[in-house]
Amino acid sequence: MATINTNQPAVSVSVRTNLKCQSCLAKLSPTLDGAAEIIDWSADMLHPEKTVTAHVATESPIELLTELIEEAGFRAWPIDRDPESDEEKANLDSSVEPPRFRLATYKPLMLVVGYVTGFSLLMCYALNTWTMELFMRYFMGGFFLGFAFFKLLNVAAFADAFSTYDVIARRSRVYGLAYPFIELSLGVAFVLGVFPLIVNSITAIVMAVGLVGVIVAVRKKQAIQCACLGTAFNLPMSVVTIIENSVMIAMAIVTVAQIVLKLA
């Protein structure tokens, strides 16, 4: 590793990396924070190349920053140099574009949706009431309760991952930290069947806001982690996430419309 030159002034350098989410930053932080040569540093996770910029006091600032990032288990390349080897190109590409779609990647998500669907059908069977309205109510209730559970396993890590794409969580960490509890509350309300007009309206708004960030991330082909199941599983952001949010929005809007028509 490069050595410190006490007479060397700190210079600002930037490198592109294969960081993917806030969880990656949490792993990188101890290494950069613990290096005496690094005066301060920051990472732009919204940049397609996930750049890391640092003020470094050494004779070889870019080399040192690159070595520290690789020491933390990631890859880094100078901004003004293209990756040379096929391996470097593959590593860099993984930070810019999401991996090719594979159904097996979403097995945890499909299992949760399957459990929620089964729960909804069992509730309809227990009540001996087979209506789409009741099925959707229990489905949304089970959906929020199930997804909130995984987020609550590590609320702070979820908030970090969520902030990489959600338009509100990016500006307010409080919202990111509160989101699992919002889902938990909505899930309980759906299962109990209380305040249906208010609950479904809030659901439509919350999911619509979330959908905006998801669409932007997918259109930019950002390789970031979908936080729908918290950080317990490394699910890539994709069209699957768009469909997931859209279905919940559609169910909420249909239910609101039904309630309004009954009241009219």
Over the stretch 29-49, which tens digit does the pLDDT of each residue have? 888 888 888 988 888 876 778
Which segment of 4-8, 60-64, 171-175, 188-192 scores lowest on mean pLDDT? 4-8
pLDDT at 90 over 60: no
Torsion of CA 75, 81, 86, 89, to 10 degrees: 60
Give pLDDT, residue 221.
67
Residues above pLDDT 70, as percent of the chain: 84
Domain boundaries, the chain: 11-96, 103-263
- Mean of the pLDDT values across residues 45-58? 83
pLDDT of residue 86 exceeding 70: no
pLDDT given at position 103: 63
Is the predicted pLDDT of residue 182 greater than 90, yes or no?
yes
Say which CATH topology domain 11-96 has: Alpha-Beta Plaits (3.30.70)
For the chain, the residue count is 264
Instruction: Flag whether the pTM goes above 0.75.
Output: no
**Which token pair is 172?**
């307010």
Phi-psi region of 245 (alpha: psi -120 to 50; beta: other; left: phi over 0): alpha
